[in-house]
Amino acid sequence: MNRKASENVEYTLRSLSSLMGERRRKQQDPDWASATGEQSLIAATESFCSLQGSGGPGPGSSTSSGDLERAARRQFQQDETPSFVYVVSVFSALGGFLFGYDTGVVSGAMLLLKRQLSLDALWQELLVSGTVGAAAVSALAGGALNGVFGRRAAILLASALFTAGSVVLSVAQNKETLLCGRVVVGLGIGIASMTVPVYIAEVSPPNLRGRLVTVNTLFITGGQFFASIVDGAFSYLPKDGWRYMLGLSAIPATIQFLGFLFLPESPRWLIQKGQTQKARRILSQIRGNQIIDEEYDTIKNSIEEEEKEVGSAGPVIYRMLTYPPTRRALIVGCGLQMFQQLSGINTIMYYSATILQMSGVEDDRLAIWLASVTAFTNFIFTLVGVWLVEKVGRRKLTLGSLAGTSVALIILALGFLLSAQVSPEISLKPTTPSDKNSSCTKYSSCDGCMLDPGCGFCYKMNKSDVVDSSCIPVNKESTNEAAWGRCTNETKFKAEQLFWAYNFCPTPYSWTVLMGLILYLVFFAPGMGPMPWTVNSEIYPLWARSTGNACSSGINWIFNVLVSLTFLHTAEYLTYYGAFFLYAGFAGLGLIFIYSCLPETKGRKLEEIESLFENKLCTCGTLDSDEGRYIEYIRVKGSNYHLSDNDASDVE
Ligand SMILES: O[C@H]1[C@H](O)[C@@H](O)[C@H](O)[C@@H](O)[C@H]1O
């Protein structure tokens, strides 16, 4: 038995012996028992004792603490979380999978699409960012949708949008239809991204909530990983391979839609809407054989109190901003989402193939497959987050993750800096054909040439030295070749031992970059990846939950577009190392923000969390008095009592 489990049992033993003491007192003094109306407590205690088959452990009782411990453990095991809550969470998390898949698959699809439909840069950008932009809009609008129609309706709508969008994409005949499909899918992503964490948090028991919501992010990164495999596999099908890539998500989307036709609405939302009978029925279905009275009453009371305290006049966002605890929670939630994106995750995800090329991978297809290694690392380390979230808590996990991410960003930046310092010189200045563009011939080293999106570096290798190098305009149709000169025909120039580097330079410091990249994901994925979603699903009171999550998800998407769309321009102005130092700076600011403002929400009931924001903003971290202290409780009612290592003290 591990230390914590034995502490649980020890505590239980202590709780039980105090109950036994009460029982003896009541048996000796029946008036006292009836006066306090505690007959049920006596019955419960007796029923516990009968579990052991040997009566209560009073003085002189033959029952050893070993028997008691075994009985407590047996009951603890019986009282497991019903599997229905896992079914509900997995079906909801399919929304996360679709979010990950549809944002991840586009990079591979674009490689094929731009050739088949001759897409120019503007159309490529529209197809990629159209989805993310639509997600930002629908995440913001999703708050109202959730509040009025409920979580279940929002998830059904999101999966219907995913299905419709994927079908449109797989049969599209022109770029305009493709754009419509991408926008429809984006609308689904936005709604799913803000609804699913809220729904899972609302149906989960407090001791599992963090883990189950984090599973949603595991599904996001799983979707991104699966997308990278699909991209790799269908890249061998140059004609129409993209139809499969983009259309495949119709399958999980349809499964989710069908599943949700049978899955229940969030009981918390139902109570808020006054549908109390239905809420009770669903809550007891989700909690299996456990008693729900206390949970039901807590939700109901907190809704009533909230209404008294905050009132119900005016738009929710106005009430949130004028009521200090929700205003603070909103700042923390949006800040977390903003810093998640500002620390550059999607630059790493979208440009990992380029970054990997910098570390010496020449072949395009190999770079695509290696990018799936990046996605896999992100996925596997999110799993570590699922495991850690209920052990170390949200605050420590996020802080540790962001500290590691900052170090990794500095290593990445140093790798790029060292590479820039030893960047190969340009030794040849070929004469430009009269009808061709010559803007690239002005550069004197590979570094400048690489940062100009219009140019590429053509060179030969002599052992480990770069020789006969030139900077030439890139072919607008395919970045794998130059527009003119020695590097124009891929098959021919490869046979002549020539190399073409677009967006990167050959460097001996590739290992530093590679190490930085891997370290980045190892640290980012368990904490900064999932925690912003997990924390946001728990920090708002019920009346503000949909709106709070809509705002913070909207912020996540807006900064996602900003960071990923500006990466190449940022690199052009600040160089690659400048860009990564900038992200490291943002991560450092994020660290200060999180250290001062993020309270620990682990193990608390959703209804209790509001109290964490009652004090002035950015003192929450220091008020973490409960950290490291486990409050055990034993609920005794009839023969049903519950031991939890993370819940509030409560003896009925
Ligand atoms: O939490 C997720 C996850 O970390 C993904 O890998 C990333 O692409 C998303 O932008 C982020 O919100």
Which residues contact residue 492 at a Cβ distance below 8 angstroms, ignoring those fewer than 6 apart? none
Predicted pLDDT of residue 238:
79
Predicted pLDDT of residue 8:
39
In a domain, 126, yes or no: yes
In a domain, 111, yes or no: yes
In a domain, 338, yes or no: yes
Mean pLDDT value of segment 434-458: 88
The more confidently predicted of residues 350 and 584 is 584
Predicted pLDDT of residue 66:
56
CA-nearest residue, atom 3 of ligand 1: 529
CA-nearest residue, atom 4 of ligand 1: 529
Mean pLDDT value of segment 44-60: 38
For residue 252, report the distance from its CA to the centre of ligand 1, in Å: 19
Q: What's the pLDDT tens digit per position in 402-430? A: 999 999 999 999 988 998 888 999 999 88
Q: What's the pLDDT tens digit per position in 597-627? A: 999 999 888 888 888 898 777 665 454 444 4
Ligand 1 atom nearest the C-alpha of 560 is: 10
pLDDT bracket for residue 236 (50, 70, 90): confident
> Ligand 1: residues within 6 Å at CB?
217, 220-221, 224, 340, 345-346, 349, 378, 529-530, 556, 560
Euclidean distance between CA atoms 466 and 507, whole angstroms: 9
Q: How large is the ipTM? A: 0.98
Predicted pLDDT of residue 195:
96
Lowest mean pLDDT segment, chosen from 190-204, 276-290, 381-395: 276-290
- Tell me, yes or no, whether 255 and 398 share the same domain: no
pLDDT bracket for residue 35 (50, 70, 90): very low
Predicted pLDDT of residue 646:
36
In a domain, 638, yes or no: no
For residue 221, report the distance from its CA to the centre of ligand 1, in Å: 7
Q: What's the pLDDT tens digit per position in 290-334? A: 788 888 998 888 888 877 777 777 788 999 999 999 999 999 999
CA dihedral (296, 300, 301, 302) positive or negative: positive
CA-nearest residue, atom 1 of ligand 1: 529
Mean pLDDT value of segment 54-67: 44
Euclidean distance between CA atoms 399 and 592, whole angstroms: 9
Ligand 1 atom nearest the C-alpha of 103 is: 8
Predicted pLDDT of residue 31:
42
Cα angle at 364 between 481 and 244, to 5 degrees?
110
pLDDT bracket for residue 360 (50, 70, 90): low
- Cβ neighbours, 10 Å, residue 164: 17
For residue 620, report the distance from its CA to the centre of ligand 1, in Å: 26
For residue 345, report the distance from its CA to the centre of ligand 1, in Å: 7
For residue 223, report the distance from its CA to the centre of ligand 1, in Å: 11
- Tell me, yes or no, whether 220 and 340 share the same domain: no
Predicted pLDDT of residue 242:
92
As a three-state string, the secondary structure of 616-630 is CCCCCHHHCCCCCCC
CA dihedral (144, 150, 152, 153) positive or negative: negative
Q: How many CA atoms lie within 13 A of 544 on its CB side?
A: 33
For residue 96, report the distance from its CA to the centre of ligand 1, in Å: 10
Helices H / strands E in the chain, number of each = 27, 5
Q: Among 442, 473, 506, which residue terminates a domain?
A: 506
pLDDT bracket for residue 68 (50, 70, 90): low
Question: In 343-393, where does DSSP find H-type helix?
Answer: 345-350, 352-358, 364-392
For residue 294, report the distance from its CA to the centre of ligand 1, in Å: 36
- Tell me, yes or no, whether 419 and 431 share the same domain: no
Predicted pLDDT of residue 71:
53
Euclidean distance between CA atoms 479 and 503, whole angstroms: 9
- Tell me, yes or no, whether 173 and 233 share the same domain: yes
Predicted confidence (pLDDT) at residue 59 exceeds the cutoff of 80: no
Q: Among 489, 506, 523, which residue terminates a domain?
A: 506
Predicted pLDDT of residue 433:
85
Predicted confidence (pLDDT) at residue 42 exceeds the cutoff of 80: no
- Tell me, yes or no, whether 219 and 195 share the same domain: yes
Average pLDDT, the chain: 82
Mean pLDDT value of segment 104-131: 84
Which residues contact residue 630 at a Cβ distance below 8 angstroms, ignoring those fewer than 6 apart? 4, 7, 11, 645, 646
Predicted confidence (pLDDT) at residue 362 exceeds the cutoff of 70: no
362, 346, 343, 453: which is closest to 403 by C-alpha? Answer: 343
Lowest mean pLDDT segment, chosen from 118-132, 372-386, 402-416, 455-469: 118-132
Ligand 1 atom nearest the C-alpha of 532 is: 1
Predicted pLDDT of residue 539:
95
- Tell me, yes or no, whether 394 and 450 share the same domain: no
In a domain, 649, yes or no: no
- Tell me, yes or no, whether 88 and 199 share the same domain: yes
- Tell me, yes or no, whether 492 and 546 share the same domain: no
Q: Cβ(101)–Cβ(245) under 8 Å?
A: no
Q: What is the pTM of this model?
A: 0.78
Predicted pLDDT of residue 220:
97
Which residues contact residue 253 at a Cβ distance below 8 angstroms, ignoring those fewer than 6 apart? 94, 98, 159, 160, 162, 163, 166, 188
Euclidean distance between CA atoms 564 and 103, whole angstroms: 12
Predicted confidence (pLDDT) at residue 631 exceeds the cutoff of 60: no
pLDDT bracket for residue 477 (50, 70, 90): confident
- Cβ neighbours, 10 Å, residue 629: 6
Number of folded domains that form the chain: 3
Mutate to test the pocket of ligand 1, among 129, 194, 220 (most ligand atoms within 8 A of CB): 220
- Tell me, yes or no, whether 252 and 184 share the same domain: yes
Question: In 172-205, where does DSSP find H-type helix?
Answer: 175-203
For residue 395, report the distance from its CA to the centre of ligand 1, in Å: 18
Mutate to test the pocket of ligand 1, among 105, 226, 340, 389 (most ligand atoms within 8 A of CB): 340
Q: Among 506, 535, 558, which residue terminates a domain?
A: 506
- Tell me, yes or no, whether 244 and 131 share the same domain: yes
Secondary structure class of 501 (helix, strand, coil): strand
CA dihedral 602, 603, 607, 613 (to 10 degrees): -30
**Residue holding tokens 């807006």?**
558
- Tell me, yes or no, whether 429 and 525 share the same domain: no
Which residues contact residue 79 at a Cβ distance below 8 angstroms, ignoring those fewer than 6 apart? 290, 640, 641, 642, 643
CATH of the domain at 323: 1.20.1250.20
Most confident range (mean pLDDT) of 345-354, 460-469, 504-513 is 460-469
In a domain, 179, yes or no: yes
In a domain, 106, yes or no: yes
CA-nearest residue, atom 10 of ligand 1: 346
Which residues contact residue 490 at a Cβ distance below 8 angstroms, ignoring those fewer than 6 apart? 478, 480, 481, 500
Predicted pLDDT of residue 150:
96
CA-nearest residue, atom 11 of ligand 1: 529
CA-nearest residue, atom 8 of ligand 1: 346
Q: Which domain holds residue 210?
A: 80-263
Q: What's the pLDDT tens digit per position in 239-285? A: 889 999 999 999 999 999 999 999 999 999 999 999 999 999 999 98
Mutate to test the pocket of ligand 1, among 189, 219, 221 (most ligand atoms within 8 A of CB): 221
202, 230, 192: which is closest to 93 by C-alpha? Answer: 192
CA-nearest residue, atom 6 of ligand 1: 221
Predicted pLDDT of residue 112:
84
Euclidean distance between CA atoms 479 and 485, whole angstroms: 14
**Residue holding tokens 């800096």?**
417
Predicted confidence (pLDDT) at residue 79 exceeds the cutoff of 80: no
Mutate to test the pocket of ligand 1, among 345, 523, 524, 562 (most ligand atoms within 8 A of CB): 345
The token pair at 88 is 């509900």
Most confident range (mean pLDDT) of 122-126, 163-167, 430-434, 515-519 is 163-167
In a domain, 288, yes or no: no
- Tell me, yes or no, whether 152 and 181 share the same domain: yes
Predicted confidence (pLDDT) at residue 17 exceeds the cutoff of 60: no
Ligand 1 atom nearest the C-alpha of 524 is: 4
Ligand 1 atom nearest the C-alpha of 217 is: 1
For residue 511, report the distance from its CA to the centre of ligand 1, in Å: 25
Predicted confidence (pLDDT) at residue 41 exceeds the cutoff of 70: no
